[in-house]
Structure 1
Amino acid sequence: MFILNANEPNELANYLQEHQWLGLDETVVSLSKPGEGNMNYVLRVDTGKRTFIVKQSRGYVEKYPQVVAPEKRVVTESAFYEKIATKINVQKYMPRLIGIDVENNVMVIEDLGNSNDFTTLYDLYHFLEADELKELVNYLNGLHHSFQKTILDDELANLELRKLNHEHIFHYPFMEANGFDLNSVQDGLQELALPYKKDATLKKQITLLGSLYMSKGKYLLHGDYYPGSWLKTSDGIKIIDPEFCYYGSREFDLGVLIAHLYLTQQDENLLSIVVTEYDSYTDLNLEILNGFIGVEIMRRLIGLAQLPLQMDLKQKKELLDFARTLILKK
């Protein structure tokens, strides 16, 4: 099996040429890491004439090697790219697929150039512009409404990766003893989290939301629509990393988006932009939407997938209480 390795440029060049992704007259001039990805091993290839991205998925999460993950996930991601390529209103926001090697779980995609993701928002000193949020919502408009199913089937079910995501969103953060000491993140966070982990009423509702997440739905979702998947480029906002994609309830994508507006303490006026710019917002199930918002806030504060939040315990408690209210519809 081919193993992607930044320390083996010649081996990579031979591999790329074998798959006709690199011309016989091209060489690998340099390899670099395009960003702080969590799930996969990703490299930017520079030939001196052009650049492109090579991504390989392995049987574990790259950032957390102790976490087992479906090794074929990049194959599902490539299928998403193939599907959205038919709709310019979605494709314009995303890199183009160049090729996929199913046997070795390697995907090659267009390089969007030098860019920064929006994780700087977590320092609580950076803020989204209204026009930026409109673009983020417009992407969801295109994705959700251009790819709807009338008959629910198993296309892009992404079941194994969704099971992993389900564990880390709806279950693991709310276990009283999950082996993750939150005090290693911030002193006092473990004690702060305990009442929510012991709240049977809260956990029952979260279980119901988790069941909905695992159910089939009619809308194609990005599946991980948070600031780490949003890029600011010279060509405008772009969206990457749809590996958690599936057909489900559109409230999930929107819920994650809105949750991170709260987590980054954006101006409340921005929330009205989501309401006015998202097509058919009034058709959404607002109880489910609020539930997904609340769960995403809570799992980011007391789960494994921590964010670089510059927030004290008092602020986190206020957010946790707010999230609990959203989930319990109170």
Structure 2
Amino acid sequence: MFILNANEPKELASYLKKNQWLSDNETIVSATKPGEGNMNYVLRIETEQRTFIIKQSRAYVEKYPQVAAPASRVVTEAGFYQKISEESSIQNRMPKLLGLDTVNNILLLEDLGKSNDYSVLYDLKHRLTTDEVIVLVSYLNELHIHFEKNKVDDELANVELRKLNYEHIFKYPFLEENGFDLDSIQMGLQELALPYKKDAALKVQLELLGSLYLSKGKYLLHGDYYPGSWLKTVKGIQIIDPEFCYYGSREFDLGVFIAHLYLSQQDENLIAVIAKEYTAFADLNPKILNGFVGIEIMRRLIGLAQLPLQMNVKEKADLLIFARELILE
């Protein structure tokens, strides 16, 4: 199996040429990380003629090598890109798929340019504008409307990656002994989390929400719609990393979106903007939507997938209380 490695440019060039992704007269000028990704090994390749992104998924999470993950997940991601290429309103908000190697779990993507994602929101100082939220909602509108199915089937089921995500959203944060010392993130966080790890009523609701997450649905979801998947580019906001995609309940995409507005302490009026701009908002199940908002908040505060939040423990305590109320509402 070929392993991507920025420190082996000759081998990389040979691999790219073998796949006809690099012409004979092209030379790699640089191979650099385009950002701080969690799941996969990603490089920006620059030649004297162009740039592109190459991504490989391995049998573990790149940021947490101790966590096993489905090695072929980029193949599912490529399937999403192939699917949405039919609809320009979505494709214009995402990179184009340029190539796929299913043997080595490598895909080639259009480079959207050197840009930053919206993780800067977690410094709790940067503000999303109403116009930016409208663009972010319009993406979900187009995705959910244009790729709605009349019947449930196995297309883009993404079962193995969803099982992994299920464990880290609905189970792992609430285990009393999960091997993750939250005090290593912020002193006092371990004690703060303990009551939620013992909360029987909460766990009943988490089981119900988790079952829904694992269920098939008829709406194509991005599956990880949070600031790390939104890029600020010269073309406007672009959406990346749909590897957690699947056909499911719309409330999940909306719930994750709204949760990160709370986590980054955005103006609550922006939630009203989402309710106004999302075409089918009145058709959503509010209990399920609130449940997904709550669990996303909780797992980001006391789970493994931590964010660079500039919150003190008291602020996190208040947000955990609010998230629990949303789930149990």
Classify the TM-score, shorter chain: over 0.9
Q: Once the two structures are superposed, what CA deviation does each residue of 1:112-169 show, in whole Å capped at 9, x if it has no partner?
A: 0011000000010111011111111110011111101111111100000000000000
State yes or no: 1:232 paired with 2:262.
no
The answer for the alignment partner of 1:173 in structure 2 is 173
User: Which residue of 2 is the match for residue 57 of structure 1?
Assistant: 57
Given the alignment of the two structures, is residue 143 of structure 1 paired with residue 143 of structure 2, yes or no? yes
Q: 1:169-213 deviations in whole A, cap 9, x for unaligned?
A: 000001111111101111110000111111100111011000000
Provide TM-score, normalisation by structure 2. Answer: 0.99
Deviation at 1:27, TM superposition (A): 1.0
Write the mapping of 1:269-308 to structure 2, written as runs, cut at 5 A: 269-308=269-308
Amino acid in the other structure paired with 1:176: E
| Structure 1 Cα separation of the partners of residues 18 and 182 of structure 2 | 47
Q: SS of the counterpart of 1:42?
A: strand
Which residue in the other structure is 1:68 paired with? 68
Separation in 1, partners of 2:111, 2:10 = 20
> Secondary structure, in 3 states, of the residue corresponding to 1:196?
helix
Q: Which amino acid aligns with 1:266?
A: Q
**Cα deviation, residue 110, structure 1:** 0.2
Counterpart of 1:28? 28
Unaligned 5+ runs, structure 1? none
Structure 1 residues 286-317: Cα deviation after superposition (integer angstroms, max 9, x where no partner): 10000000000000000000000000111101
Deviations 1:236-271 (A, max 9, x none): 000000000000001000000000000000001111
CA distance in 1, matches of 2:246, 2:288: 17
Counterpart position of 1:123: 123
* Superposition deviation, residue 17 in structure 1: 1.0
Would you identify which runs of 4 or more consecutive aligned residues in structure 1 move more than 4 Å?
Answer: none
Matches within 5 A, 1:86-125: 86-125=86-125
Alignment of 1:255-274 (within 5 A): 255-274=255-274
Q: SS state of the match for residue 39, structure 2?
A: coil
The answer for unaligned runs of 5 or more in structure 2 is none
Q: By how many angstroms is 1:20 displaced?
A: 1.0
1:156 aligns to 2:156 (yes or no): yes
Amino acid corresponding to residue 34 of structure 2 in structure 1: P
Tell which deviates more after alignment, 211-220 or 10-19.
10-19
1:7-22 to 2 correspondences below 5 Å? 7-22=7-22
The two structures have a TM-score, normalised by structure 1, of: 0.99
**Which residue of structure 1 aligns with residue 43 of structure 2?**
43
Counterpart for residue 324 of structure 2: 324
Tell me, in whole angstroms, the C-alpha distance in 1 between the residues paired with 2:278 and 2:82. Answer: 24
Q: Percent identity, aligned pairs only?
A: 70
Instruction: Output the aligned Cα RMSD.
Output: 0.5
Q: Secondary structure at the match of 2:315?
A: helix
Matched residue type, 2:288: I
Shift of 1:48: 1.5
CA distance in 2, matches of 1:48, 1:290: 50
Counterpart in 2 of 1:251?
251
Q: Counterpart in 1 of 2:183?
A: 183
